[in-house]
Amino acid sequence: MAVRPASLTSKAHRRLTAALDRRHTRVNRVQHTVTVLDPKKAKSDREKQEEARIRSRRAPPSAECSNVLTSCFVLDVDTYAPQSTEP
């Protein structure tokens, strides 16, 4: 046996539609998340890693390379020594 309202404007119809609406509405619930790591600390660690990565890209050559002279920079003393014009 099914309950059928007489018309769309009847009191029974309004009650049935209200009951259906209550069943099918979504309820916003607060979702809880459990974190093991401190989010602020994790964010600061990621930022430090990013800064270190950027610094390593912009860094000048290491000190070992800057102290080494290649053959292009070494001048031959004999060829550039002033010529003596003594008789």
DSSP type of residue 37 = S
Cα–Cα dist 80/74, whole Å: 11
Cα–Cα dist 75/21, whole Å: 92
Answer for the pair 66, 60: CB distance below 8 angstroms, yes or no: yes
Instruction: With H, G, I as helix, E, B as strand and everything else as coil, classify residue 67.
Output: coil
Answer for the pair 5, 16: CB distance below 8 angstroms, yes or no: yes
Residue 10: both structure tokens together: 């009847």
Average pLDDT by stretches of 10, the chain with 87 residues: 81 90 80 82 95 83 55 53 59
Q: What is the pTM of this model?
A: 0.32
- Residue boundaries of the structural domains of the chain: 51-76
Per-residue confidence (pLDDT) for residue 51, from 0 to 100: 94
